[in-house]
Structure 1
Amino acid sequence: MTTQSLFLVTLVVPDYDAAIAFYRDSMGFDLVEDNGLDDDKRWVVIRPPGGEGASLLLARAVDAEQEKAIGNQAGGRVSFFLRTDDFARDHAAYLAKGVVFEEEPRHEVYGTVAVFRDPFGNRWDMIQSAG
């Protein structure tokens, strides 16, 4: 039997340190790895606290084509879905740290959700599952 899991998703960012500062300091993500590679590239991996699910590989844009993808990696749709065990706690903490929500929290059949943007333009859903 084969076992596989999705463990990394690339997120193109304009600057490694600005991305680390936002995801670690504003969102409370863990900085898992930050290793230098050739040509000023770095292997930077972050993940939400608790370490469940895929981590993000932060990749600094190196040319005009990659720069166009920053904040629009899903064509304007929500790109990332962050599950939380306490929506009210995390929503309040994010607001206090300057995270910009596009909407007020809403209740859907699948849970409580609100869309926010990171400083690079990526849209995220924060969700607390129903039940």
Structure 2
Amino acid sequence: MTAGAAARRIAMATVVVRDYDEAIAWYRDALGFDLLEDSDRGDGKRWVRMAPTGDAGFSLLLARAATPAQVAAIGDQHGGRVGFFLHTDDFAGDHARLAAAGARFEEAPRHEAYGSVVVFRDLYGNRWDLIEPRT
């Protein structure tokens, strides 16, 4: 960082969901994420943040769809592209947990120059890469 430059980082990204509780359960059970915060904001709104266990430096904000446009975006927030990249040091274990939780895999796991990878969809249809980087 250059002298005088501000320190910045992306802290959070929103995932539009159909229901708070079903999303919390899926991200907890399938992805092994921790619930960092679940605060009532009134009028049925909640501030729900989740992150991979041991990594609260970046979190997902689960936001329940409130308008027709938001409902239409559920599961396709990245226009059909992979929108999330989850790194792991236990590819086989995480793949098995995802399979048991009902994740939809688009391919068989493959081994690339950069590591092991598989594309899956979460409970809403958002596309993710599960990656164990090659060390």
Which TM-score band applies after superposition, normalised by the shorter structure?
A: over 0.9
**Residue of structure 2 aligned with 1:109, choices 104, 110, 113:** 113
**Residues 15-54 of structure 1 correspond to what in structure 2 (within 5 A)?**
15-51=19-55, 53-54=57-58
Distance 1:45 1:52 in 2: 9
After the TM superposition, which parts of structure 1 deviate over 4 Å for at least 4 consecutive aligned residues? Answer: none
Partner of 2:94: 90
Structure with more of its chain in strand, by fraction: 2
Distance 1:55 1:101 in 2: 23
Q: What is the SS of the residue equivalent to 1:47?
A: strand
Bigger Rg, structure 1 or 2: 2
For residue 45 of structure 1, report the CA deviation from its aligned partner.
0.1
**Residue of structure 2 aligned with 1:119, choices 94, 114, 123:** 123
Q: What is the SS of the residue equivalent to 2:47?
A: strand
For residue 2 of structure 1, report the CA deviation from its aligned partner.
1.5
Q: What is the SS of the residue equivalent to 1:18?
A: helix
**Residue of structure 2 aligned with 1:75, choices 66, 76, 79:** 79
For residue 90 of structure 1, report the CA deviation from its aligned partner.
1.1
Where structure 2 has 5 or more consecutive residues not aligned to the other structure, the ranges are none
TM-score normalised per structure 1: 0.94
Partner of 2:66: 62
Q: Deviations over 1:94-123 (max 9, x none)?
A: 222322211110111211100011110101
Partner of 1:3: 7
Distance 1:22 1:107 in 2: 26
Q: What is the SS of the residue equivalent to 1:79?
A: strand
Aligned residues: 131
Where structure 1 has 5 or more consecutive residues not aligned to the other structure, the ranges are none
TM-score normalised per structure 2: 0.92
Two-structure CA RMSD over aligned residues (Å): 1.2
The percent of aligned pairs where both chains have the same amino acid is 57
For residue 38 of structure 1, report the CA deviation from its aligned partner.
2.4
Matched AA of 2:55: G
